[in-house]
Amino acid sequence: MIPERSNQPAGVAYSVGAYLLWGFLPLYFLLLVPTGPWEVVAARVVFSLVFCLLLLTVARGWRRIMVIIRQPRLLGWTALAGLLIYINWQVFLIGTLSGHVVETALGYFINPITTVLLGVFVLRERIRRLQWVAIGIALIAVVVIVVAYRSFPWIALSLTASFGTYGLIKKKIGPSVDAVSGLTLESFWLMPIAIVQLIIVAQTTGITFGTVSTWHTVLMLFAGVATAVPLLLFAAGARRINLTVIGMIQFITPIMQFLTGVLLLHEPMPPERWIGFIIVWIAVAVFVIDLVRAGRRGRRTRVAPVV
């Protein structure tokens, strides 16, 4: 279904808002220091669930979630989605709090291309020639980073693999699971993991929540809001604009993360790393050119007169 033109400005605004907030997340989580990544992710799970339960109550969404609960197949998909988003959150926090924000940006630069690959090999979708070119260039970039920088970019590849597969599952369950219900169930499935992590942290480094400062405690409490709001904005935008537009808007996030890592956090960027990123950006440019060309062809097809 083609989104109504009157809804497109709102859709763009929602989507830009989501990706801007995701772009600021590294700075937000850095404010939580000295809290470590394991405690932050556990808090993120707990407070996301609390926030979503409040939203369900205010928006009277309990009926929708009960419909999902009665379908074991859908429940299974939400559990798998929860596991994948947990991996994504944990790796992202480890990268952010260990001085690897630039590598997290690399993962999200590659993510759109990973999504295309999943579409080809899992959904048996056919892709255009330029998309194959972009995939090939991205693979060359990864090889260059591994060989020249002598470091396997596990953070970047874990982020793109987990979020790409998460997006694939969200696409599969489609309109059967709305954004709030989905995030609620995903957070619910992750509660046992969060509890175990908090117990381990308490017995090793110690829980920092409520012990650092009032401001730090407030920021920890809002970790759930910082998690849920961009996801809800994204869901609202995706319903109103074409996937092509979303594909171009999503590069806001890795650009912001890259600038944060290089300009604000002064992470090292030796020549070989710049070479790897430049090759990635060439792949991204090819990918965006293909999206623009496909979008123009689609518009010409829609406005063509019927003879």
pLDDT confidence of 306, banded at 50, 70, 90?
A: very low
Specify whether the CB–CB gap between 177 and 76 falls below 8 A: no
Mean pLDDT over 41-47 rounds to 94
Q: Does the structure show a pLDDT above 80 at 289?
A: yes
Q: Does the structure show a pLDDT above 70 at 267?
A: yes
pLDDT value at residue 130: 84
Nearest-angstrom CA–CA distance, 145 and 151: 7
pLDDT value at residue 247: 64
Mean pLDDT over 19-33 rounds to 92
pTM value is: 0.85
Mean pLDDT over 168-197 rounds to 88
pLDDT confidence of 5, banded at 50, 70, 90?
A: low
Q: Which of 88-97, 176-185, 295-304 has the lowest mean pLDDT?
A: 295-304
Neighbours of 274 (CB within 10 A): 11
99: left (phi over 0), alpha (psi -120 to 50) or beta: left
> pLDDT tens digits for 77-136?
999 999 999 999 999 999 999 999 999 999 888 887 787 788 778 877 777 888 788 888
Buried b (16+ CB within 10 A) or exposed e, 34-60: ebbbbbbbbbbbbbbbebbbebbeeee
Mean pLDDT over 186-192 rounds to 95
Nearest-angstrom CA–CA distance, 191 and 41: 11
Mean pLDDT over 294-300 rounds to 68
pLDDT value at residue 128: 80
Specify whether the CB–CB gap between 148 and 276 falls below 8 A: yes
pLDDT confidence of 307, banded at 50, 70, 90?
A: very low
pLDDT value at residue 172: 79
Torsion of CA 60, 63, 65, 67, to 10 degrees: -160
Mean pLDDT over 195-218 rounds to 95
Neighbours of 144 (CB within 10 A): 18
Q: Does the structure show a pLDDT above 70 at 244?
A: no
